[in-house]
């Protein structure tokens, strides 16, 4: 058969193979034909299998990445925590009457996602139209950074948020936050303290609240946006406003560098009001700088001058070695260790104990201290809490200073307020113990009942000593250096203290630290008031001693706050003020 004939035969057989497989043998050669339908079906199955496998791989990758993101730790994008801790509430702070002193308000903060910013220059320019004080270079660097998150401005106002939204800048967003708000501004700044940008307490009672466990709960994410039980303080915001106004006016009127005051309940230890100026607005703490942040009432120590004579004479009376009927020779100055101790307005005669207190005799006071002795003197001041750190809730409390070794000269100068530095607050606390029957009660910025105070109190002087000291304080208030603290209808007793300030290790005769320690009503004391004024240049009557500036500040505080504290004035039938007699 020719080659052409063989081709014709093969074509004919291939025609019949369309219906199925057909095997043919021709000259020992087997040829297998696969149908067109079968080949198409096989190829379709292969394509489907490939597609299923491809989709399976894609979904596996996506699922794996989701699991990876779910298990991964959140990326740290700023100094603050997660969104849930950002929204964590702080408790409201209330005064003793339920008035709000501090609360949380909702706000938003502006952030950027740099990888989504199209034009950093344009974004900065447009943001500056709403936030003109924006640091353009700093913001530009943030927008051009490799990070995926940058804070641009914390705690915006609603108006600022609305205006920025209207700009329509891609890559810019807002995050909800809480902002602490203090309705009274600087009124109680040093008591309340303030919080940082992340709503964490850093000073005052705000810090105290965090130290009670709030900060730890926030750190582990156990806080929430739920409303917390408010914290009520012992402060009376009405009295607080008066005290702050008086000390601020005193600093300005008497041209001083600082001033302060406290009103203390002598039976419970509750602080009703306390202020120190210069101060600051806790809504804008950064503007206060270090000068305004300094709480001189509890975190500043000073030589309290002649107010310490109150404790020296109480020490003598309580020891039994001195009575109100005793006298001491104040005719001549005392010379010891190269120093001369003399009286500011010396009478140059023998003085009774009441006269030593009334005329503020350094010589007479020094002789009482010498009679008690160095060890007895140091023990008494320690017992009164004047040589140890004051225990209270406020974190900012400084420890007093004293000589490393007490010698006779130290005991003598300390007797009239030089050589030991204490805080004004602890001086007031010790003074309260001398008029409340002899009980030293730690001060509290939280409400406290008399029963609760009694459990914390320690007896430091006899009741008879307390009675004698009330007499001396009242006598000095009427006829001594405390006359400018008198308030008609209210019986005020007190003691002035005028101390030369220490400048570069030496006493400056032209700079004073003045204080006035007072109690009212002195016949049955309820409140202790202490004022101080630092380096005043003037005072009432032209002087610059405590009697001409620190005492009038006490007068102003008592006259304005006594009615609010429920202390009724006493007047005779003729309308004149009644004075206490002993």
Instruction: Give the per-residue SS3 of 438-495.
Output: CEECCCECCCCCHHHHHHHCEECCCHHHHHHHHHHHHHHHHHCCCHHHCECCECCEEE
Q: Is 526 helix (H, G, I), strand (E, B) or coil?
A: coil
Residue 230 C-alpha from the chain's centroid: 17
Gap between the Cα atoms of 374 and 407, Å rounded: 7
Element (H, E) at 501: strand 493-503
Q: What own/partner pairs with CB < 8 Å and gap ≥ 24 does 457-462 have?
A: 460/383, 460/384, 460/433, 461/314, 461/318, 461/433, 461/434, 462/318, 462/438
In total, the chain counts a number of residues equal to 582
Gap between the Cα atoms of 157 and 106, Å rounded: 10
Q: How many CB atoms lie within 10 A of CB 254?
A: 23
Q: Is 75 helix (H, G, I), strand (E, B) or coil?
A: coil
Instruction: Give the per-residue SS3 of 151-212.
Output: EEEEEECHHHHHHHHHHCCCCEEEEEEEEEECCCHHHHHHHHCCECCCCCECCHHHHHHHHH
Q: Is 332 helix (H, G, I), strand (E, B) or coil?
A: coil
Gap between the Cα atoms of 284 and 547, Å rounded: 36
End-to-end distance of the chain based on CA atoms, in angstroms? 159
8-state DSSP, 390: P
* Annotated active-site residue in 109, 276, 298, 306: 306
| Cβ neighbours for 154, distance < 8 A, ≥ 6 positions apart | 109, 110, 177, 197
8 A C-beta contact, residue 262 and residue 297:
yes
Q: Look up 361 and say whether it is catalytic.
A: no
Q: Is 352 helix (H, G, I), strand (E, B) or coil?
A: strand
Gap between the Cα atoms of 314 and 467, Å rounded: 10
Positive or negative torsion for Cα 498, 501, 502, 508: negative
Angle at 356 between CA 351 and CA 361, to 5 degrees: 105
Question: Which residues are the active-site residues?
Answer: 306
């Amino acid at each position: 058969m020719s080659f052409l004939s063989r081709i014709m035969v093969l074509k004919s057989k291939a025609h019949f193979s369309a219906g199925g497989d057909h095997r043919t043998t021709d000259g020992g050669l087997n040829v297998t034909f696969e149908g067109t339908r079968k080949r198409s079906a096989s190829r379709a199955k292969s394509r489907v299998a490939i597609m299923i496998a491809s989709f399976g791989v894609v979904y596996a990758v996506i699922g794996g990445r989701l699991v990876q993101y779910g298990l991964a730790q959140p990326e740290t994008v700023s100094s603050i925590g997660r969104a849930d801790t950002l929204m964590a509430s702080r408790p409201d702070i209330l005064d003793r009457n339920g008035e709000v002193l501090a609360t949380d308000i909702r706000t938003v903060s502006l952030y950027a996602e740099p990888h989504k910013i199209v034009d950093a220059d344009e974004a900065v320019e447009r943001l500056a139209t709403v936030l003109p004080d924006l640091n353009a270079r700093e913001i530009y660097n943030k927008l051009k950074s490799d990070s995926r998150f940058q804070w641009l401005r914390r705690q915006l106002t609603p108006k600022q948020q609305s205006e920025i939204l209207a700009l329509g800048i891609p890559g810019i967003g807002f995050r909800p936050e809480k902002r602490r708000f203090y309705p009274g501004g600087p009124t109680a700044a040093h008591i309340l303290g303030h919080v940082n940008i992340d709503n964490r307490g850093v000073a005052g009672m705000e810090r105290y609240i965090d130290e009670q466990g709030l900060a730890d709960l926030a750190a582990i994410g156990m806080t929430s946006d739920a409303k917390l039980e408010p914290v009520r303080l012992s402060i009376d915001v009405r009295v607080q406003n008066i005290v702050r106004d008086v000390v601020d006016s005193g600093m300005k009127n008497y041209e001083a560098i600082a001033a302060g005051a406290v009103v203390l309940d002598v039976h419970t230890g509750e602080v009703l009001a306390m202020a120190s100026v210069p101060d600051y607005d806790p809504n804008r703490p950064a503007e206060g700088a270090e000068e305004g942040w300094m709480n001189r009432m509890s975190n500043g120590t000073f030589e309290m001058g002649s107010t310490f004579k109150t404790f020296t004479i109480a020490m003598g009376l309580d020891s039994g070695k001195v009575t109100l009927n005793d006298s001491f020779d104040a005719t001549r100055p005392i010379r010891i260790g190269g120093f001369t101790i003399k009286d500011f307005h010396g009478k140059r005669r023998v003085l009774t104990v009441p006269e030593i207190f009334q005329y503020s005799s350094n010589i007479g006071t020094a002789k009482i201290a010498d009679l008690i002795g160095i060890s007895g003197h140091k023990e008494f001041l320690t017992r009164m809490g004047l040589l140890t750190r004051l225990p209270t809730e406020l974190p900012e409390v400084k420890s007093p200073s004293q000589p490393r070794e007490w010698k006779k000269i130290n005991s003598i100068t300390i007797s009239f307020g030089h050589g030991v530095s204490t805080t004004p607050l602890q001086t007031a606390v010790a003074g309260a113990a001398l008029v409340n029957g002899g009980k030293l009660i730690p001060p509290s910025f939280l409400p406290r009942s008399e029963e609760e105070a009694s459990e914390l109190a320690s007896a430091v002087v006899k009741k008879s000593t307390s009675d004698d000291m009330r007499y001396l304080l009242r006598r000095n208030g009427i006829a001594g250096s405390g006359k400018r603290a008198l308030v008609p209808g209210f019986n005020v007793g007190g003691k002035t203290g005028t101390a030369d300030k220490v400048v570069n290790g030496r006493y400056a005769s032209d700079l004073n630290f003045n204080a006035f320690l007072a109690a009212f009503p002195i016949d049955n004391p309820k409140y202790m008031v202490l004022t101080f004024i630092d380096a005043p240049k003037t005072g009432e009557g032209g002087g610059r001693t405590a009697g001409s500036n620190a005492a009038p500040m006490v007068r102003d505080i008592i006259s304005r706050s006594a009615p609010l504290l429920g202390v009724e004035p006493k007047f005779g039938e003729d309308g004149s003020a009644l004075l206490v007699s002993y």
